[in-house]
């Protein structure tokens, strides 16, 4: 069963935050000192100085879950105490300033001094943009895909990082691909966790299969939109949406070269289309046995410098043989209406096994006729 949530265009189509660090903070001496307090351009002091920001101890706001306290994989997972496992002193911005060096403005503000209130932006349907705006959309994405981010990506566990050589360059676009991958890849078998009661793998997932699914992805998309704006020097640009509920024949009617590129029966994009030339990263989780796949029994960040083929896409055609006929099309209005009837946002055990949970229907793990989980194995 497919997810029923609002699909901001391309978030699903491309299937892409946690292992990224400002490039200026990955010098060997700063990694050793665990301090990331850069001096922004045009300012004499770290974090900009009084009125803008200052270097401060970074609070660890993560709360330990007693159920996981004896699990080896959890105890050594870098995300468990983020970002203090790498840096315990970072910039604390003042007023309306933000960013790793306090050189940016908080959400809702702009201007040199971040004192101008920003007007709400209008998000538009991609089907109504017109040819010029659609081309701009593609051009903006392509520039972000081919522009190096001022962040680099840790390609090793913290305990295994030797120095700056273990951080890889990544594009503005691919930074978000890797962040999404790292937030949702932490598989732990029951032999390690000891708390799974179904004989299957347990998951430590910060973005999926739990109560944070819509909140995490909304923040993710807002940060992604800002990154596209910055890469193209256009702070007023907004990420369009795609109303899949109105899609012709309940199939991907923007999967054409007029919009985001057509794909063949093997899900491969047209190689003459701009997105068809893109190389992908972080595409496949390892198939190796658990003990061989990780050095310390936790998920290793992907190698962002390793390209793994070209884009593939198959919305509405996932796996009807295993998961039912509803996988052969995008969500029907009747399925959306069914999900909206549920007053309970989430239910125990707050995973993909939750029954009568709006969140689990939204995420795609519950049957859209009964509300019961499909994960019965």
Q: Are residues 223 and 368 in the same domain?
A: no
Same domain, 317 and 372: no
pLDDT band at 319; cut points 50, 70, 90: low
Q: Indicate whether 227 and 297 sit together in one domain.
A: yes
pLDDT of res. 202? 45
* pLDDT computed for residue 183 by the predictor: 72
| Distances, alpha carbon 327 to alpha carbons 169, 251, 317, 319, 332, in Å | 37, 11, 6, 6, 11
Mean of the per-residue pLDDT values of the chain: 81
Q: What is the pLDDT of residue 277?
A: 93
Q: What is the mean pLDDT of residues 311-318?
A: 75
Same domain, 85 and 126: yes
* Residues 84-99, mean pLDDT to the nearest whole number: 95
- The domain containing residue 336 runs over which residues? 332-377
Residue 320 has pLDDT above 80, yes or no: no
Q: What is the mean pLDDT of residues 90-105?
A: 96
Q: Which of 81-95, 200-214, 286-300 has the highest mean pLDDT?
A: 81-95
**Are 225 and 241 within 8 A, CB to CB?**
no
Same domain? 305 vs 323: yes
| Residue 12 counted as domain residue | no
Q: Is 171 helix (H, G, I), strand (E, B) or coil?
A: strand
Q: What percent of the chain has pLDDT over 70?
A: 78
| Domain total in the chain | 2
What is the number of other CB atoms lying within 10 angstroms of the CB of residue 219?
A: 12
List the end-to-end C-alpha distance of the chain, in Å, as a whole number. 16
Residue 283 lies in a domain: yes
């Amino acid at each position: 069963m497919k997810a029923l949530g609002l699909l901001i265009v391309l978030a699903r189509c491309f299937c892409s935050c946690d292992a990224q660090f400002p490039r200026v903070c990955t010098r060997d001496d700063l990694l050793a000192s665990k301090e990331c307090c850069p001096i922004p351009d045009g300012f004499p002091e770290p974090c900009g100085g009084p009125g803008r920001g200052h270097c401060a101890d970074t609070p660890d706001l993560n709360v330990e879950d007693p159920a996981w306290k004896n699990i080896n994989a959890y105890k050594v997972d870098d995300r468990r105490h983020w970002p203090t496992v790498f840096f315990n002193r970072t910039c604390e911005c003042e007023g309306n300033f933000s960013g790793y060096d306090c050189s940016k403005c908080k959400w809702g503000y702009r201007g040199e001094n971040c004192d101008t209130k920003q007007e709400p932006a209008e998000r538009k349907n991609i089907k109504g943009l017109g040819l010029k705006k659609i081309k701009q959309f593609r051009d903006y994405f392509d520039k972000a895909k081919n522009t190096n981010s001022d962040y680099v990506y840790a390609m090793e566990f913290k305990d295994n990082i030797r120095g700056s050589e273990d951080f890889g360059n990544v594009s503005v676009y691919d930074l978000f691909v890797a962040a999404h991958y790292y937030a949702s890849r932490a598989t732990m078998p029951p032999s390690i966790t000891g708390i799974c009661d179904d004989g299957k793998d347990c998951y430590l997932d910060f973005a999926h299969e739990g109560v944070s699914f819509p909140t995490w992805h909304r923040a993710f998309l807002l940060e992604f939109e800002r990154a596209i704006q910055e890469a193209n020097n256009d702070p007023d640009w907004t990420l369009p949406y795609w109303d899949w509920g109105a899609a012709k024949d309940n199939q991907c009617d923007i999967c054409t070269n007029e919009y985001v590129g057509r794909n063949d029966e093997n899900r491969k994009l047209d190689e003459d289309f701009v997105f068809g030339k893109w190389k992908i990263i972080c595409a496949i989780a390892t198939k190796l046995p658990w003990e061989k796949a990780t050095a310390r029994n936790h998920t290793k960040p992907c190698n962002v410098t390793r390209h793994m083929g070209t884009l593939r896409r198959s919305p509405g055609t996932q796996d009807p043989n295993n998961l039912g006929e509803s996988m052969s099309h995008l969500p029907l209005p009747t399925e959306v209406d069914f999900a909206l009837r549920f007053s309970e946002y989430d239910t125990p055990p707050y995973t993909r096994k939750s029954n009568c949970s709006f969140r689990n229907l939204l995420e795609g793990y519950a049957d859209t006729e009964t509300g019961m989980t499909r994960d019965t194995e």
